[in-house]
């Protein structure tokens, strides 16, 4: 089955669509569940599917280092290797290798809070599910690619656009991302411009390799898709230039890289999506907070990925219609009621909330039981996946603004 995308309903910039892949259909807007090392942490693929997830994204950098992309290839490709029958994606690996460069150990983020102190000049994307204990910059960027050291054993490695694409083809997902340079939100304009230009050159190289090696069906149609990534930081002229150049290349879809103030995020997404070709999907990289879906979707984004739901779950932080709760708080020790509410404001119907009490989950966390992470992750992913599905339905019903106001009023307690 070849890759295709169809817009079913539009309202301003926002759209509800259908993304067809060889391993299933994705109803957009959609949240892409992150399975960094070919596993969604603490969950089986069957559990991930049961909570409503449509697509899983794995990490090129981590799978390259362990177990190795050729082992994934020989195991039948990502989906078969991890026993996930649905659509799959891989990032380019730049996400990690740049975070090990100039921004390593400086706790920088690709999305800056306004007024934050600059912590790194360049080289960070900032949404990895992994943290290294090595206290030195491990990556160096040049025109041809990136040289870096493994966080596992310190061994030297190198990614170029062609090598990133080769690894992604070995991993064998349905959708890939072109190799790009990620920058800190605090990088100066001159460096943002330089990195953006390099990203454009790397995009051409990624696309050339992909088109020569993509799998095709019996009719010669590609069965794998490549997304180009728009960069340019918080600067309107750079973002628009990048959207025009990347949008003019023959990509199957587009990623919107970070590196902007959180307050400006939706404006930046709007700038980009006003220029990108309308008939192709757009993925806003590394975004996962409930309120951010509304702003991203309202400005034309179709797909989102983030490790936040499972990362927060492992610390006992759970989403609810009235904001996040920390199940470790003392008040939950003797709370024999249901754990949390769903995105509709009613009692959550996920497996965890339907079968366990807040007191039991609180006990699991206090006792450091592994099941705690599993049950909390089921709830958080169910909440996020189904929140985005509800937003999609509100677009189809032409009730987006009403649903946005209702949800955000409850979520922020106003």
For residue 44, the tally of other CB atoms under 10 A from its CB is 14
205: β partners: none
Q: Own/partner pairs for 33-37, CB < 8 Å, 24+ apart? A: 33/57, 33/305, 33/381, 33/385, 34/59, 34/129, 34/305, 34/306, 34/307, 34/310, 35/82, 35/84, 36/62, 36/129, 36/130, 36/307, 37/62, 37/63, 37/66
Omega into 99 within 30° of 0, i.e. cis?
no
Domains of the chain (ranges, CATH numbers): 4-306 (3.20.20.105), 318-411 (no CATH)
pLDDT > 90? residue 131? no
Which 3-state string (H, E, C) describes 57-103?
EECHHHHHHCCCHHHHHHCCCHHHHHCCCCCEEECCCHHHHCCCCCC
What pLDDT was estimated at residue 37?
97
Mean of the pLDDT values across residues 284-297?
A: 94
pLDDT > 90? residue 143? yes
Q: Count of residues for the chain?
A: 414
Q: Which of 116-120, 295-299, 399-403 has the lowest mean pLDDT?
A: 116-120
What pLDDT was estimated at residue 265?
85
Q: Which of 113-122, 148-157, 165-174 has the lowest mean pLDDT?
A: 113-122
Tokens encoding 381: 């992913």
**Which band of pLDDT confidence, cut at 50, 70 and 90, is reported for residue 119?**
very low
Cβ(272)–Cβ(245) below 8 Å: no
Give the integer Cα–Cα distance in Å for 178 and 160: 11
What pLDDT was estimated at residue 258?
74
What pLDDT was estimated at residue 136?
47
**Which band of pLDDT confidence, cut at 50, 70 and 90, is reported for residue 121?**
very low
Give the integer Cα–Cα distance in Å for 147 and 130: 19
Cβ(29)–Cβ(300) below 8 Å: no
Q: Which of 115-124, 137-146, 339-348 has the lowest mean pLDDT?
A: 115-124
In three-state secondary structure terms, 171 is helix
What pLDDT was estimated at residue 137?
64
Give the integer Cα–Cα distance in Å for 291 and 393: 17
pLDDT > 90? residue 288? no
**Cα torsion at 183, 114, 299, 241 (round to 10°)?**
-40
Give the integer Cα–Cα distance in Å for 395 and 268: 22
- The DSSP 8-state label assigned to residue 370 in this structure reads H
pLDDT > 70? residue 125? no
pLDDT > 50? residue 1? yes
For 354, list phi and psi in degrees, rounded to 5. -75, -20
What pLDDT was estimated at residue 123?
34
What pLDDT was estimated at residue 124?
32
Q: What is the largest CA-CA distance in the chain?
A: 62
Q: Which of 257-261, 351-355, 399-403 has the lowest mean pLDDT?
A: 257-261
- The DSSP 8-state label assigned to residue 333 in this structure reads T
21: β partners: 24
What pLDDT was estimated at residue 117?
34
pLDDT > 60? residue 116? no
Mean of the pLDDT values across residues 83-89?
A: 98
Q: Which of 191-200, 257-266, 356-365 has the lowest mean pLDDT?
A: 257-266
Give the integer Cα–Cα distance in Å for 102 and 124: 7
Q: Which helix (H) or strand (E) holds 261?
A: strand 260-261
Cβ(283)–Cβ(254) below 8 Å: yes
Mean of the pLDDT values across residues 142-156?
A: 91
Give the integer Cα–Cα distance in Å for 397 and 392: 9
In three-state secondary structure terms, 129 is coil
What pLDDT was estimated at residue 185?
78
**Which band of pLDDT confidence, cut at 50, 70 and 90, is reported for residue 321?**
very high
Taking CA atoms, 5 is separated from 249, 254, 279, in Å, by: 17, 12, 7
Share of the chain above pLDDT 90, in %: 78
Cβ(339)–Cβ(353) below 8 Å: yes
Mean pLDDT, the chain, integer: 90
Q: How far is CA 392 from the centre of its chain?
A: 18
Show which residues are catalytic: 91, 305
In three-state secondary structure terms, 134 is coil
Q: Which of 31-35, 147-151, 358-362 has the lowest mean pLDDT?
A: 147-151
Cβ(125)–Cβ(257) below 8 Å: yes
**Which band of pLDDT confidence, cut at 50, 70 and 90, is reported for residue 132?**
very low
């Amino acid at each position: 089955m070849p890759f295709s995308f169809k817009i079913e309903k539009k309202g301003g910039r926002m759209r509800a669509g259908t993304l067809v892949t060889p391993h299933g259909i994705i109803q957009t807007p959609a949240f892409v569940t992150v399975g960094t090392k070919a596993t969604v942490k603490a969950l089986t693929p069957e559990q991930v599917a049961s909570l409503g997830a449509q697509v899983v994204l794995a990490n090129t950098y981590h799978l390259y280092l362990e177990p190795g992309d050729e082992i994934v290839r020989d195991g039948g490709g990502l989906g078969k290797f991890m026993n996930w029958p649905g659509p799959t994606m891989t990032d380019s690996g730049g996400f990690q290798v740049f975070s090990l460069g100039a921004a390593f150990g400086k706790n920088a983020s690709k999305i800056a809070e306004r007024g934050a102190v600059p912590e790194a000049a360049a080289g960070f994307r900032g949404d990895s599910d992994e943290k290294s204990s090595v206290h030195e910059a491990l990556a160096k960027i040049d025109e041809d690619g990136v040289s870096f050291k493994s966080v596992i054993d310190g061994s030297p490695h190198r990614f170029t656009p062609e090598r990133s694409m080769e690894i992604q083809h070995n991993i064998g997902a349905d959708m890939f991302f072109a190799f790009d340079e990620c920058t800190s939100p605090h990088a100066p304009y001159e460096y943002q411009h330089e990195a953006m230009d390099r990203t454009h050159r790397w995009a051409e190289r990624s696309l050339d390799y992909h088109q020569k090696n993509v799998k095709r069906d019996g009719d010669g149609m590609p069965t794998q898709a490549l997304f180009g990534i728009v960069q340019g930081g918080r600067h309107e002229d750079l973002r628009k230039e990048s959207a025009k150049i990347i949008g003019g290349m023959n990509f199957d879809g587009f990623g919107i890289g970070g590196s902007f103030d959180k307050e400006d995020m939706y404006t930046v997404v709007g700038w980009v999506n006003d220029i990108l070709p309308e008939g192709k999907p757009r993925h806003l990289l590394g975004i996962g907070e409930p309120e951010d879906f509304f702003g991203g979707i309202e400005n034309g984004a179709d797909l989102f990925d983030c490790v936040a739901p499972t990362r927060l779950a492992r610390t006992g932080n759970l989403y609810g219609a009235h904001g996040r709760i920390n199940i470790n708080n003392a008040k939950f020790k003797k709370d024999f009621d249901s754990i949390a509410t769903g995105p509709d404001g009613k009692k959550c119907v996920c497996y965890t909330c339907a079968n366990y009490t807040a007191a039991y989950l609180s006990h699991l966390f206090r006792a450091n039981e592994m099941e705690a992470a599993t049950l909390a992750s089921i709830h958080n992913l169910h909440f996020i996946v189904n929140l985005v599905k509800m937003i999609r339905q509100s677009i189809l019903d032409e009730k987006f603004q009403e649903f946005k106001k209702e949800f955000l009023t409850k979520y922020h307690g106003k």
